[in-house]
Structure 1
Amino acid sequence: MVKPDSKAPWGNHFVFLHVSVPRLTNAEIQNPLKFIRKAQEIIQSKRSSFGAYLTAKLLETVKKFRGHKTTAKFIHGSLNNSSIAITNMMGPVEKTTLANHAIKGLYFMVVGSPQSLVVTIVSYMGNLRVSLGAEEGFIDSPKLKSCIENAFEMMLNAASATPSNANFLNGHNTSSGP
């Protein structure tokens, strides 16, 4: 699976990106892809920031010198001070089997975290799966589901409207401006 003495990092990696949710303006309701672009720019700048690099190195150093339990306490302490956690995982790109039974879909969920709302995202064979976990009685589940379905439909309609928008969603940003 991984070559011995490989220099490439593998295994679980934690980086905390503290991102405020951008405000949705009326113009972005009319064109939701503007909102997506703005959120993407914010996340890209945070991912490229020195703070993300330092956080990852700090966790690595704590794990090396103080052990896994201390690192877990540090991670839990950071999670304790946030209201929502979003995590993602790249899944297999080819069909996978378990005990000679083909896996049709794959989800994962973080349990036992201190947040009132957890969003997990996984890709499996080119399909994106989004899972939500909420504290009991904290969120009206049917209303949240309806809002998410509406948002995905708005994005799909906006992306289908023009070829340049479809290119953006496929990872080919051909527009010269926002």
Structure 2
Amino acid sequence: MQEVSKESSNLNSTAIVLLNTRMLRSYSSVKEMVKPDAKSPWGNHFAFLHVPIPKFTDSGLSDPLEFIKKAQQIIKSKRSSLGVYLTAKLLKAVDKFRGPEAAAKYVHGTLKNSSMAITNMIGPMEQVAVANHPVKGLYYMVTGNPQSLTATVISYMGKLRIAIGVEDGFIDPQKLKSSMENAYDMMLLQATTSATTTST
């Protein structure tokens, strides 16, 4: 962002991190979830966190590993806050009293006021097959959302896959890809250098 426009270093960016709140309850079989008095009923159960994206120009954050550590620290502190629980309860109340359309409108309005969305999914540990054809890898993408940038993360057979979606005509995908590859290379170099220094 700052490479394209120096003025953007003064702007604030917020990410929406979508969280699965079903984990807060428990996983149940479909048969259990569809019962009228189910403790963990069928359907989506999620909440979201507003996370300020640290500026890469902040003091001490010019190192990509430090940038990631700072972002992780922010997410961890917010994820363990009461906000996640209250957001989930608010969404449930809006859905119950005003209907699913009102809940969807509320979610869309919240998403619209953020710069990017991040969501993740834990995938199967074992290889799966579709019509007897083994699946070598998979990813997913959330479409139709109002953010300029979407990142989805999924694990499958012990490997992590990240998919990035950008707003057409607003973000240069090749520039973003190049910047991300550069950041990953810098993080790998920094991580291997610090690991070597620690072991000697």
TM-score tier, shorter chain, comes to: 0.7 to 0.9
Does residue 142 of the first structure (1) align with residue 142 of the second (2)? no
1:66 aligns with 2:98: yes
TM-score by length of 1: 0.81
Return the offset for 1:165: 9.5
Q: Quick one: structure 1 residues 16 and 165, their matched pair in 2 at CA, closer, same or farther if it must change by over 3 Å?
A: farther
The equivalent residue for 2:159 is 127
Instruction: State whether structure 2 residue 183 is matched by structure 1 residue 151.
Output: yes
User: Residue in 2 aligned with 1:12?
Assistant: 44
Structure with the bigger percentage of strand: 2
Q: Which amino acid is 1:15 matched to?
A: A
Pair 1:89 & 2:115 matched:
no
Which residue identity does 1:115 align to in structure 2? Q
1:12-49 C-alpha deviation (Å, 9 max, x unpaired): 232221111112246433x4322222111101111111
Stretches of structure 1 that go unaligned for 5 or more consecutive residues are 167-178
Corresponding letter in the other structure for 2:61: E
State whether residues 148 and 166 of structure 2, in contact with CA within 8 Å, keep that contact through their aligned partners in structure 1. Answer: yes
Quick check: 1:121–1:128 contact (8 Å CA) kept in 2? Answer: yes
Matched, 1:2 2:53: no
Asked if residue 113 in structure 1 is aligned to residue 145 in structure 2, the reply is yes
Considering only aligned residues, what root-mean-square deviation do their CA atoms show, in Å?
Answer: 2.5
Alpha-carbon deviations, 1:105-144, whole Å to 9, x = none? 1111111111122111111112111111112111111111
User: Is 1:28 the counterpart of 2:61 in the alignment?
Assistant: yes
CA 85–48 in structure 1, closer or farther in 2 if over 3 Å, else same: same
Distance (whole Å) between structure 2 residues aligned to residue 9 and residue 37 of structure 1? 36
CA contact (8 A) 2:119 2:153 kept: yes
User: Which portions of structure 1, spanning 4 or more consecutive aligned residues, are displaced by more than 6 angstroms?
Assistant: none
Q: Percent identical across equivalent pairs?
A: 56
Unaligned runs of 5+ in 2: 1-26
Give the whole-Å Cα distance in 2 for the aligned partners of 1:164 and 1:64. 56
Offset of residue 55 of structure 1: 0.6
